[in-house]
Structure 1
Amino acid sequence: MPINSLIKLIVFLFLTAVCIFGLQPFQASVDASKTLVEQEGIYANEVKRLSDGTYLVAVRTDMPDVKAEMVRWWFKEFLQTSEQYKLWHPKDHIWMNWENKKPGTIIGASHLVHEYIGKDLNKLRINFIDPSEFFGYDPNDINTFVLCAQVGYLLESLNIAKMCHIIRDTKKGSEMRTRFWLGHVEERGIKNNLISIQELIGNTSLARLFMVTKEDAEDLKKHAEEEMKYLSEILPNIYYSNSTVKQ
């Protein structure tokens, strides 16, 4: 093969690979550790397309008069009905239920929800997992509550995103830092370490460019900002009215 033709072939294959896999196909985009910053108030609120085609959605929420323990109680003990779920976002939250939920724990439970994100009603399954799968260790302590999950379709055995909430106590209450990574496709259930066709195609940059739009990411950011603001406003009264811990 002539050298010019060989160079053209190499360039074509390179550009095709970039188109499909991104410029850094083996770089992990799930940068959960950035939620662990020690300084208050510096965590960025942003929506950003990453090099692998996924979208990062980051949200910081100041929660005056709310402590990490109160948010832990909300998820592990209190939240059980659709009526309670609607308190969290009266406009967007429609319905909820649990699978594999045990009192006092959240890991291994699946939160089944119907909620509006933007104009669309989303029917989702939020599978809460051990935070060590994100961080390599469990960062929970007395002043910090960490909640991590894989998010998928309710009626299909397919996850489409990852998320992490970190609530850390501050002098005035707490600060919640949230990260979503949209476009991580994974089939739920026993996999035997095999990659499905859906995962193989869905996790390419090219597929992610079509599957996840900036509008999707912006809508999620707005929804998260609103629901966590609602939570910071309603939680103190609910907590002290229902919990055995008194103010």
Structure 2
Amino acid sequence: MADVAEPRADPGRRPHLGMQAGELDGKWYAKYWNPVMAPLPEHVREALALGPQAPPRCLEFDAAGTLSDAGYHDLENGYSLFEDGAMHIATLTRMPGVSPAMLDWWFWWHATETQRYKLWYPRAHVYAEWSGDPADRRAPYRERYIGGTSFVDEYVGSALGELAIRFVRPSRFGFSEDSLGPDEATAVCGVVGLSRVPLDWGHLIHHVRRVRDGAEMRSRFWMGGSYVSPRGGASLTGELETAADDVRKLGAEHARAMVVHCSQEMNHLAAFLPEIFDEFTRDEGREQP
């Protein structure tokens, strides 16, 4: 897979939360903008109250493919901190009326326009830009985003991050493609980096599986510490070394904010995803990607 290219220069861009006047003019999906967000689920609040968990309770990245197994892991909600500065994040989101295919569609559809990205998390999402070949509209939804990079600006807690998320094949993270039939399961897998400098600093997985009333998403993040590395053959010196120091050890406050961020954005998405997906698929040719 190709290394991430730097996003195009946009010196006039100023991050802002929410929708400004006129931002949704002419957008068929404008009615799905809802800045009112539900409270954190009780199971997430309980996990945060427990504080950092023992590292042995966490899923090791090399065992990520076991998310396809039946049942649950020891740590489904919460966070842990490691001696090298790395952190592990886990959240469980219940999504009534949602299917795995809807999530594959969303990760393709939302990434090409800032307004779509803001629908997802009105309190934190600021900007989105897509880098990659135009999607083949005849391809399965998962194939439309794998191999591309989503450049996003978003707040995690009070910190604004400028990120590059490279979507990779689930098999690269240890999943069997046979376990991810679009009607039963999907795994959205990405390498997380910085968008302004060639530096990666973590991995993410959103594993989605069918349950009786819809789907459930089990999200995992491995960030900082040993997951920090230059990309594209860059040397870890100067500005890049400074950037690496900033993300090697983020601490408990950032880990807690990541749990909150993931839970809020995914629960908010679940509230409107079935309806927006249904409306889109009724007339998929109405817009260009």
TM-score interval, normalised by the smaller of the two chains: 0.7 to 0.9
Change (3 A) 1:119 1:84: same
Once superposed, what is the RMSD of the aligned Cα atoms?
A: 2.7
| Identity level (%) | 29
Residues 206-227 of structure 1: per-residue CA shift (max 9 Å, x gap): x799622111111111000000
Q: Does 1:153 find its partner at 2:191?
A: no
Q: What residue ranges of structure 2 are gaps of 5+ in the alignment? A: 1-59, 136-140, 285-289
Q: What residue ranges of structure 1 are gaps of 5+ in the alignment? A: 1-27
SS at match of 1:108: coil
Residues 157-192 of structure 1: per-residue CA shift (max 9 Å, x gap): 00011111111111100000110001111222257x
Would you say the 8 A contact 1:29–1:52 is kept in 2?
no
Q: After the TM superposition, which segments of 4 or more aligned residues of structure 1 sit over 3 Å from their partners?
A: 28-31, 40-43, 50-53, 207-210
Would you say the 8 A contact 1:56–1:181 is kept in 2?
yes
Number of the residue aligned with 1:167: 208
Moved more, 124-133 or 77-86: 77-86
SS at match of 1:243: helix
Residues 64-118 of structure 1: per-residue CA shift (max 9 Å, x gap): 0101111111112454211111110011001101001432411110001011100
Change (3 A) 1:117 1:171: same
Of the candidates 239, 260, 264, which is equivalent to residue 226 of structure 1?
A: 264
Aligned equivalents of 2:209 and 2:250: distance in 1?
30
Would you say the 8 A contact 2:76–2:92 is kept in 1?
yes
Aligned equivalents of 2:216 and 2:247: distance in 1?
32
Aligned equivalents of 1:215 and 1:91: distance in 2?
18
Aligned equivalents of 1:75 and 1:53: distance in 2?
29
Determine which structure has more spread, i.e. the larger CA radius of gyration: 1
TM-score using structure 1 length: 0.76
Aligned equivalents of 1:155 and 1:41: distance in 2?
35
Aligned length: 209
Change (3 A) 1:71 1:116: same
Aligned equivalents of 1:107 and 1:175: distance in 2?
21
Aligned equivalents of 1:36 and 1:245: distance in 2?
33
Alignment map for 1:206-221 (pairs within 5 Å): 211-221=249-259
Aligned equivalents of 1:120 and 1:57: distance in 2?
17
Residue type of the alignment partner of 2:160: L
Aligned equivalents of 1:69 and 1:43: distance in 2?
26
Would you say the 8 A contact 1:43–1:177 is kept in 2?
no
Alignment map for 1:1-247 (pairs within 5 Å): 29-39=61-71, 44-50=76-82, 52-103=84-135, 104=141, 105-135=144-174, 137-138=176-177, 139-142=179-182, 143-183=184-224, 184-190=227-233, 196-197=235-236, 211-244=249-282
Aligned equivalents of 2:152 and 2:175: distance in 1?
28
Of Structure 1 and Structure 2, which has the larger fraction of its residues in strand?
1
